[in-house]
């Protein structure tokens, strides 16, 4: 992390790429896009989780600062290792299969610098065909989160306040990243970005979505196994970031969503991953309590200020909403109105 608070260090940016598998060519394209920025990062750091260290070996001779991790700590552990090697006041996290537009970093930095309460700025992530991969993230009261405007037409608006953004290409204040201990190491993969945005929001800070800052993401589906990370991490996020009275208030809705999630898991064949996610959450009571205590110490806003930023209705990103979900959404909308009114009295 940044070792001093000099004005030069605070103004500079460290770009961090975490690698594990994939091909060298994709990472080379990512690095080339960073070097071609109108505001180039002062440091290019590669945190290598691969078992053979091939990325560190290759890019160490190409002028990057490389961190060879002894074991695969997941994306979250890799970002923390990269952040420890950084000396700048802002950290740019970039997926190894992403390529930034030439002014992406400059636009993210301008947005972050213009708002003293903003500590995270996220780019609009596009698919190779030009459609949207991830816009402003939508976060549900159950902890579910989905990519905003998925497969839609790209936006072209100004930077705006957002509850959460994608971690595929995001700029984070280094001091805040250290204070909040970065992306939670237990998460490994998925929801780490949403979780950090939630925690900083509860601390009275802001996340910005910057549509004009774009990056192309060569996204590939991780298969059914991803449901283990998705289900586990959304529950960990919900249980650590939400106040107890709010959890009790949300309990009826949460039970409905869990029942629907189980129906999807059974029909989709990934119920074993969902069951394993439950078991992994239940096996970590000590961690949950520690994280809840830390969250309490950092919190500046009550959940009554957080709940209005969450969604109560569900979406089916990239496809038409099924009839049964439209019916459920009518009920969830009414339920959400009741919850929001009640939350002001707890």
The pLDDT value given to residue 131: 96
Residue 303 lies in a domain: yes
> Could you say which of 57, 80, 96 is where a domain stops?
96
Residue 190 lies in a domain: no
For strand 43-48 and strand 160-162, is the pairing parallel, antiparallel, or unpaired? Answer: unpaired
Instruction: Give which of 53, 24, 42, 28 is closest to 105, Cα–Cα.
Output: 42
Q: In terms of residue numbers, what domain contains 250?
A: 226-343
Residue 43 lies in a domain: yes
Burial class (CB within 10 angstroms; exposed 0-12, middle 13-18, buried 19+) of 6: exposed
Encode pLDDT of 96-131 as tens digits: 999 999 999 999 999 999 999 999 999 999 999 999
Task: List all residues 6 or more positions away from 161 whose beta carbon is below 8 Å from its beta carbon.
Answer: 206, 207, 208, 209
Q: How confident is the model at residue 85 (pLDDT cuts 50, 70, 90)?
A: very high
Average pLDDT along the chain: 93
Q: If you average pLDDT over residues 71-81, what whole number do you get?
A: 91
Burial 167-201 (b: 16+ CB within 10 A, else e): bbbbbbbbebbeebebbbebbbbbbbbbbbbbbbb
Encode pLDDT of 48-59 as tens digits: 999 999 999 999
> Could you say which of 62, 96, 130 is where a domain stops?
96
What is the rounded CA–CA span in Å between residue 112 and residue 204? 15
pLDDT of 93 higher than 50: yes
Total tally of structural domains belonging to the chain: 2
What is the rounded CA–CA span in Å between residue 213 and residue 104? 4
More confident: 231 or 325: 231
Residue 273 lies in a domain: yes
pLDDT of 27 higher than 70: yes
Residue 215 lies in a domain: no
pLDDT of 4 higher than 50: no
pLDDT of 336 higher than 80: yes
More confident: 222 or 320: 320
Residue 319 lies in a domain: yes
Residue 339 lies in a domain: yes
DSSP-assigned beta bridge partners for residue 174: none
Q: The tokens of 73 are what? A: 């700590």
* DSSP element (H, E) containing 215: strand 206-217
**Within a 10 A sphere around the Cβ of 341, how many other Cβ atoms?**
9
Residue 150 lies in a domain: no
What is the rounded CA–CA span in Å between residue 100 and residue 215? 4
């Amino acid at each position: 992390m940044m070792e001093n608070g000099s004005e030069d260090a605070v103004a500079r940016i460290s770009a961090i790429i975490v690698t594990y598998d994939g091909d060298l060519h994709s990472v080379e394209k990512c690095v080339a896009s960073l070097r071609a920025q109108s505001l180039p990062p002062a440091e290019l750091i590669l945190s290598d989780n691969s078992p053979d260290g091939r990325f560190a070996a290759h890019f160490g001779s190409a002028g990057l600062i490389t961190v060879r991790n002894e074991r695969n700590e997941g994306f979250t552990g890799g970002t923390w290792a990269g952040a420890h090697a950084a000396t700048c006041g802002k950290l740019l996290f970039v997926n190894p299969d992403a390529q930034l537009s030439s002014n992406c970093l400059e636009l993210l930095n301008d947005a972050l610098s213009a708002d003293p309460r903003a500590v995270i700025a996220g780019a609009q992530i596009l698919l190779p065909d030009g459609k949207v991969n991830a816009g402003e993230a939508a976060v549900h009261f159950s902890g579910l989160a989905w990519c905003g405007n998925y497969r839609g037409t790209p936006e072209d608006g100004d930077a705006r306040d957002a509850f959460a953004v994608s971690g595929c290409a995001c700029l984070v204040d280094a001091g805040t990243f250290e204070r909040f201990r970065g992306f939670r190491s237990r998460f490994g993969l998925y929801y780490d970005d949403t979780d950090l945005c939630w925690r900083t929001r509860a601390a009275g800070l802001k996340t910005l979505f910057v549509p004009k800052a774009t990056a192309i993401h060569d996204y590939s589906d991780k298969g059914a196994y991803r449901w283990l990370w998705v289900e586990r991490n959304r529950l960990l996020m919900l249980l650590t970031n939400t106040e107890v009275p709010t959890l009790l208030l949300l309990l009826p809705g949460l039970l409905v969503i869990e029942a629907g999630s189980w129906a999807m898991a059974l029909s989709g064949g990934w119920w074993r991953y969902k069951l394993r996610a439950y078991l992994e959450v239940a096996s970590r009571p000590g961690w949950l309590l520690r994280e809840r205590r830390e969250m309490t110490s950092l919190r500046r806003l009550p959940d009554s200020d957080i709940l209005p930023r969450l969604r109560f209705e569900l979406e089916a990103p990239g496809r038409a909403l099924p009839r049964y979900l439209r019916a459920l959404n009518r009920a969830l909308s009414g339920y959400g109105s009741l919850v929001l009114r009640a939350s002001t009295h707890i």
